[in-house]
Amino acid sequence: MKALILSILATFFITVATAQPAGPRGSHQAKPDNYILIHAGTLLAVPGKKPQNNMTVVVKNDRIERIETGFVNATSIGIESTADIEIIDLSDQFILPGLMDSHVHLSHEPSRNRRRTERGDRDTDTPAQLAINAMIYARRTLAAGFTSVRDVGSDDQSVFAARNAINAGRMIGPRIFVSGSALAVTGGHGDGIPIEATGHPGERLAHGTCDGPMECRKAVRFQFKLGADLIKFTSTGGFGSNTALEPQLFPDEIDAIVKTAHMLGLKATTHAYSAISIKDAIRAGVDSIEHGFLLDDEAISMMKKNGVWLVPTISASYPPPIFNVPDPMSVRLRNEHRAFERAYAAGVKIAFGTDAGTFKHGTNAKEFEMMVGFGMSEMDAIYSATVSTAELYGIEDEAGTLEAGKLADLIAVTGNPLTDISTLRNIDFVMKSGAVAKQDGQMTEPFTY
């Protein structure tokens, strides 16, 4: 019997051994590298520096391997023939890094909300419906050349779901940094809780509603637990909420929000119009100011001294479609205070942001024309949407310029945006992390599996 058992065991081990694949034990055949050689007629690799003509961007998998002078092929630069190799001819186009928008709301769009109101349907969308919105609007945003965005105010589910699907590789979309629900006081700008649920603890956490330092700390921690990438809070009222424009949070509430966010490793940004609240947020250590329409000279000086970013969102005041009235207050106040022009002249750091969602997603580039129209150079406007935004997001080592080792996020346009900024309204080609998302003006298949 013992001999029989030994014979069976020997046969088993021989069978297993012969079934092993060739090569190291248990190894799988490596997938060949994917190379894309992009022939760029004009290349603005580093906004702020002079563009170059007739260059080749060598993309290996999801990153830029190198940039070569002239239009090269795989053989001339020593790429192995076993690799998957593609050449994309953009020799008649202007190439620059993928754009970034620091202020969007991907789960909403005002025209849809108006149609719902007109037919008498005032029920709020479910998180599932909002998630579908976010996926659709994310694709529109990517088609417009924006490969990274910050969603600064949604809910506890929808944009998280869209972000996670993109990060998992299930859909080609922009890189999304999510704040979740914007933190707001009861009755303040951003408080979306139905009146009958105002005192319900679960509803308050889900909507980011908080009063007093202790509750505000808890609200930050809840967004962190959900997976937020940053914290957004509303220090003042706003144009769209009928809550006036003055302060709505006490300094101790602002301090609690900002310090808790920083303790958890998250950046904090605030919706703020009033100079009083802007200065309170700067004293608390806030990283950026959204809108800032009523900036005074002291606030501008404090922003520059403390390295606080301004996300000007001129499109949110000039005016978005939600203001269906002649001569809206938003335009009058913007023109009266000229906060963007004064901050730019003073040397405040400016990061591109639009407030898309208060107007149609995919038309984000109109902000460039407003910035240039109000005195910013074309190069500085592009810099604000690439180098500056990457620094604000904390991804300057990964994105914002086209350099060896960075993610292959790039776009192409016909024309020269350094002489005509409006060319950024029409994006011909988009690559996000080495994947072609748009070519010859047409979007590619969105889903990978």
Strands 288-294 and 309-311: parallel
Is residue 134's pLDDT more than 70? yes
Closest to 79 (Cα-Cα) out of 136, 142, 36, 110: 36
Q: Which residue has the tokens 């940004």?
A: 269
Distance, in Å, from the CA atom of 39 to the CA atom of 92, rounded to the nearest integer, reads 9
DSSP notation for 35-51? EEEEEEEEE--STTS--
Distance, in Å, from the CA atom of 433 to the CA atom of 62, rounded to the nearest integer, reads 5
Is residue 428's pLDDT more than 60? yes
Banded pLDDT at 298 (limits 50, 70, 90): very high
**Could you count the other beta carbons within 10 Å of the beta carbon of residue 178?**
26
Domain boundaries, the chain: 99-400
| Dihedrals phi, psi of 335, to nearest 5 degrees | -70, -30
What are 308-328's pLDDT values in tens digits? 999 999 999 887 666 677 788
| Contact status, residue 271 vs residue 310, Cβ threshold 8 Å | no
| Contact status, residue 246 vs residue 236, Cβ threshold 8 Å | yes
Q: What pLDDT shows up at residue 20?
A: 44
Structure pTM? 0.90
Distance in Å from the first CA to the final CA of the chain: 53
Q: What pLDDT shows up at residue 28?
A: 58
Q: What is the mean pLDDT of residues 77-87?
A: 89
In a 10 Å sphere around its CB, with 0-12 CB exposed, 13-18 middle and 19+ buried, how is residue 23 labelled? exposed
What are 177-219's pLDDT values in tens digits? 999 999 999 988 887 777 766 667 778 888 889 999 999 999 9
Choice among 124-133, 153-162, 285-294, 361-370 with the minimum mean pLDDT? 124-133
Q: What pLDDT shows up at residue 328?
A: 85
Q: What pLDDT shows up at residue 320?
A: 67
Q: What pLDDT shows up at residue 351?
A: 98
What are 91-117's pLDDT values in tens digits? 999 999 999 999 999 999 875 444 433
Question: Which amino acid would we find at residue 399?
Answer: A
Q: What pLDDT shows up at residue 192?
A: 74
Q: What is the mean pLDDT of the chain?
A: 89
Is residue 368's pLDDT more than 70? yes
Per CATH, the homologous superfamily of domain 99-400 is Metal-dependent hydrolases (3.20.20.140)
